[in-house]
Structure 1
């Protein structure tokens, strides 16, 4: 027998799943060239005899990558907010995405890496090093790692890393074009091969994140209370953080740095299902996929016959949301 709260959560779950299903359909049907549903069905069945069916065949991997990246970023944002107890935590704001980007750019420019697997491993390493660096800087001084100090450390690190990326690629005309396009953040060049290579990392990150839900509930009570409940706080925080690093690094390697998804999604999901991470994490994953798919479809429609990369659209959505969160929170509380 379900309670009223659980009934509402199940209702919202059905709503989010229905919305995700609709957006998956729109993603393969809508673009610079609109396609009829009969061609969509035919293309899903393997047909590619007409221009419309060929267009759908190109959009299918793009749709899958957008959904997978949205799952990863939404989940990573919820994990980061839970680990740091910071309402401003997000892979972009804390500099993790830029750290992964810098690592990839250094690998391409200085070490000549070319394989997708190398990109993924280097991006995960960069994300991990950056997460440790930002948390260490934010922990200095009185009061430890407060939300405001972490946010400031992350923003400062992002600015510094972005400058380093520009400094590295400016003298390298041979790679500048491709890197600049990748840095915007998008899913337009998706292929089944790239999706297959990144899938094990994303699956591992998702499973590790979901297994951390109970521990994150304990951490939300405070370190002393969590320890009193028998939780190994350092291990719980490290395990959850590892899942976010895997998700951010792997996604950045394939799509480039896409910001604000991990900020917006967990806050909206808390309004729907509350703060219990056993519900919040799955909802953040599904809602993240919805947001990124919707942003990708909007980017194709707004700039027809061209398109806006999904990273640009999420920035337009997320920046006002970030300002609203900051204004909603008292600076003293941050």
Structure 2
């Protein structure tokens, strides 16, 4: 068994994963490919001239160039939303020490949805700013509630108890959402497209509203990453290394909720991106959060953008919402992870 001083040295000076430079360069190239594909592919395939006109010639008012300009905001928003969900998933897994924690699995998305639908039904909200604050409140309250329920009984907040608490809470809140919507047709019309999860309605004003929450959440995640590494060794060891575990969990959880809630407010409850992104990252780089968090942001951005492109191609001439595509991929992965013995804790 290693001594506390050895553990402290390992925590304070983690080695750089052998393949990190290669993985980083390959991931950034993949981001560039995704951006290009997102601008060109869709219900209408665009040519090189239309792409150049849309990007560099604002005076050109052709149909193809206008489509490119609309797809730019959509692409930027899908990249930012995917990054936010990837980092949120990494934070929630670290705070709960649960390798299958994800905003959608723990019911956080559904809590945000409930508050948004209540705002539409009872407060007549309709703007991105109003959506965000209500979604953040719903996400935070649900996260606290699920963690409290999952912590009851012997053994504390075990991974399986948290997942069961999240699933039960999500089902109950989804029933409340339906109960509010069904008697109110105008609420259903406004809410049903948002509920599926889509980046198709992205706008620059929405991105501007979303950006401060994204910046704060990712900054907080990067700052807390070294201490979260210590937390993975256990609360007693982390405390011995000088980590204030209570404050650390609160800050990291707040950052995760901000990232998830802000994304859900504008894009709807998109599930499984955080789960997929973090596990792909850990498979390539290991469990050091100094590298897992930034690479989860890149992985999440790539996953959500690719899912959006697939949805546009499969649903042509319309589109298949990105939340449906991520669910098709994420649900089997969740089942596989739940069947593995390593699901007990991180």
The normalised TM-score by structure 1 is: 0.96
- SS of structure 1 residue aligned to 2:130: helix
1:209 aligns with 221
The equivalent residue for 1:39 is 50
1:262 aligns with one of 274, 277, 290:
274
How many Å separate the matches in 1 of 2:15 and 2:249? 32
SS in 2 for 1:212: helix
Distance in 1 (CA, whole Å) between partners of 2:185 and 2:74 is 28
1:315 aligns with 2:327: yes
Q: Tell me the CA shift for residue 46 of structure 1.
A: 4.3
- RMSD over aligned Cα atoms: 1.6
Seen in structure 2, the aligned counterparts of structure 1 residues 331 and 50 have a Cα distance that, compared at 3 Å, is closer
Match for residue 161 of structure 2 among 130, 149, 153: 149
Give the 5 Å matches for 1:231-242: 231-242=243-254
Residue matched to 2:27: 16
Task: Say whether 1:281 aligns with 2:317.
Answer: no
Distance 1:15 1:252 in 2: 29
Deviation at 1:5, TM superposition (A): 5.6
Q: Structure 2 CA distance, aligned partners of 1:205 and 1:161?
A: 25
Between 110-119 and 100-109, the greater mean CA deviation after superposition: 110-119
CA displacement 1:219-266 (0-9 Å, x = unmatched): 100000000001000000100001001001100000000000011110
Count of residues in correspondence between the two structures: 332
User: Are the equivalent residues in 1 in contact too, given 2:95–2:253 (CA < 8 A)?
Assistant: yes
Whole-angstrom distance in 1 between the partners of 2:37 and 2:51: 10
Equivalent position of 1:71 in the other structure: 83
Quote the Cα distance in structure 1 between the aligned partners of 2:225 and 2:218.
11
Query: 8 Å contact 2:98–2:343 — kept in the other structure?
Result: no
Aligned equivalents of 2:69 and 2:231: distance in 1?
Answer: 45
Separation in 1 of the partners of 2:15 and 2:193? 48
User: Per-residue displacement from partner, 1:67-91 (whole Å, max 9, x unpaired)?
Assistant: 0100000000000001111011000
Determine the C-alpha separation between the residues in 2 that align with 1:65 and 1:331.
Answer: 32
Q: Whole-Å Cα distance in 2 between the matches of residues 309 and 190 of structure 1?
A: 13
CA shift for structure 1 position 333: 6.8
Question: Residue 86 in 1 paired to residue 98 in 2?
Answer: yes
Between 323-332 and 120-129, report the one with greater CA deviation: 323-332
Q: 1:109 aligns with which of 115, 118, 121?
A: 121
Aligned counterparts, 1:246-257, within 5 A = 246-257=258-269
Matching residue of 2:146: 134
For residues 177 and 147 of structure 2, what CA distance do their matches in structure 1 show? 22
Alpha-carbon distance between aligned partners in 2 of 1:187 and 1:258, rounded to the nearest angstrom = 10
Aligned mates of 1:10, 1:219 — CA distance in 2: 26
**CA positional deviation for 1:327:** 1.4
In the aligned structure 1, how far is the partner of 2:81 from the partner of 2:206?
12
Out of 302, 305, 308, the position equivalent to 2:314 is 302
Deviation per CA, 1:124-144, whole angstroms, max 9, x where unpaired? 111110000000000000000
SS of alignment partner, residue 19 of structure 2? helix
Q: Which runs of 5+ in 2 are unaligned?
A: 1-13
Give yes or no for the alignment of 1:222 onto 2:234: yes
Residue matched to 1:26: 37
**2:304 matched residue in structure 1:** 292
Q: Supply the distance in 1 between the matched residues of 2:158 and 2:207 (Cα, whole angstroms).
A: 37
- C-alpha distance in structure 1 between counterparts of 2:137 and 2:343, whole Å: 33
